[in-house]
Amino acid sequence: MTDTPAFDVQAVRDHFPALSRRVDGRPLAFLDGPAGTQVPHECIDGIVAYLETSNANLHGAFLTSHETDAMMDEVHAAAADFLGAADGSEITFGANMTTLTFAVSRAIGRTLTAGDEIVVTQLDHDGDVAPWLTMAEERGAVIRQVGIRPEDCTLDMDALEAALSPRTRLVAVTLASNAVGSIPPVARIAEMVHAAGAWLWVDAVHAGPHLPIDVAALGADFLICSPYKFFGPHLGLLWARRELLESLPAVKVRPAADDLPGRWETGTQSHEMLAGLLGTFRYLEWVGVSQGGASGEPGAADGRRRTRLKAAMTASRAYERSLIPPLISGLCSVPGLQIRGIVDPAHFDERCPTVSFTLGERHPRAIAEVLGQRGIFSWDGDNYAYELIRALGLAESGGMVRVGLVHYNTLDEIDRLVEALREIAAGR
């Protein structure tokens, strides 16, 4: 891609109060997005306004409870628009992705018989592996693990094909790797999985801030993500096909409604965080209108919200895509630096700007610390991609340093990162 997309990154950054923070006179470079992004003022304002005016529990006979009911309906509907779902009843909120995955995997486990098979991958975060391992152990199911191609850290599609059998009941795969940024061909995987008669569980946590998501186009049966990774508050968000949400044996308290969306939402939800998430969706609608050429007013609950949200994510992807070549070539110019993941420009469409690397014999934590002292925030270690780090033989040496860009990051920040790494490599 050679065109520079018309993406006004400064206008975007102006929505994020944290991005103007300076320490010792230096601006901060938030390259830690894969572990959680910063939030726009719309999100913060939504949390504050809810707590100031409408804080109540659901289904009461008074004003603030009515307002809470309305806010809850609206945030479910907005999340459905974000994911291309039919409507808000297909959306379930929870504490985070891992907690929701444990709950739903346990319910799925209740439908299995001993010897049924679950497929997981080496590319996945442990939040999309451990719940399936636990459930399989409890239910006598068999786990098959699909490996990666170590040369570029992409999913081994031949191994995936070989792992499928008539006993396969579910395949759990990531839509983008939180460790190395690879984007597996999930729509193709869906066809393979369905041909085997199994369900596809898609972990879209890392993909959330990077890609437009359309659950129908992907062919997913379940898709899960975490709003705190796409400019929202700390929450988990699950979509599943209605028929599955209605029929799987959910574990729930007795008086709770058996209809959707309440069936999978145990206890009281974090209403203020959900009000904040509504603010995040309004912000993304603004991105869609101002950067993606969509029409309409952010916050207008009409049929065009899906168009605005999709336009936001399409514009984000185009902008982020333009950052991948300078990020990769800049990192590759640092002596001794080795990226694990896709570095061939011909395959940049198959990755997002999340990049992990080692630098000679230096311990990843030591590198992250020096970067942190310079106001450049990165992560180090395994980032819960246990199987991947083990497969790469890096588990004993501190894993890797990970930097991840989202749509508020800039070319200037890439330059700062590369310069700092060059100095670290030179021992300065």
Q: Of 174 and 356, which CB lies nearer to ligand PLP in the complex structure? A: 174
Query: Using CB under 6 A, which of 89, 226, 307, 378 touches ligand PLP?
Result: 226
206 lies in the site for ligand PLP, by CB under 6 A:
yes
Integer-rounded Cα radius of gyration of the chain: 21
Nearest approach, Cβ of residue 328 and ligand PLP (Å): 21
236 lies in the site for ligand PLP, by CB under 6 A:
yes
Give the Cα separation of 152 and 188 in Å (integer): 19
Q: Classify residue 182 as exposed, middle or buried by CB count within 10 Å of its CB (0-12, 13-18, 19+).
A: buried
Contact 89, 260 (CB under 8 A): yes
354 lies in the site for ligand PLP, by CB under 6 A:
no
SS3 at position 239: strand
Query: Using CB under 6 A, which of 40, 46, 84, 127 touches ligand PLP?
Result: 127
Q: Of 90 and 382, which CB lies nearer to ligand PLP in the complex structure? A: 382
Query: Using CB under 6 A, which of 32, 90, 128, 265 touches ligand PLP?
Result: 128
For helices 97-109 and 130-139, what crossing angle results, to 10°?
20
Whole-number Cα distances in Å, 115 to 118, 139, 164 = 10, 9, 13
The angle formed by the CA atoms of residues 318, 128 and 362, to the nearest 5 degrees, is 70
**How many residues form the binding site for ligand PLP (CB under 6 A)?**
13
Query: Using CB under 6 A, which of 116, 203, 265, 382 touches ligand PLP?
Result: 203
**Kind and range of the H or E run holding 352:** none
Contact 208, 229 (CB under 8 A): yes
Choices 79-87, 92-100, 188-196, 364-372 (CB under 6 A): range interacting with ligand PLP: 92-100
270 lies in the site for ligand PLP, by CB under 6 A:
no
202 lies in the site for ligand PLP, by CB under 6 A:
no
Backbone angles phi, psi at 297, to 5 degrees: -110, 130
Q: Of 101 and 358, which CB lies nearer to ligand PLP in the complex structure? A: 101
- Binding characters for ligand PLP, 155-174, by CB under 6 A (x = yes): -------------------x
Give the binding site for ligand PLP (CB under 6 A). Answer: 96-98, 125, 127-128, 174, 178, 203, 205-206, 226, 236
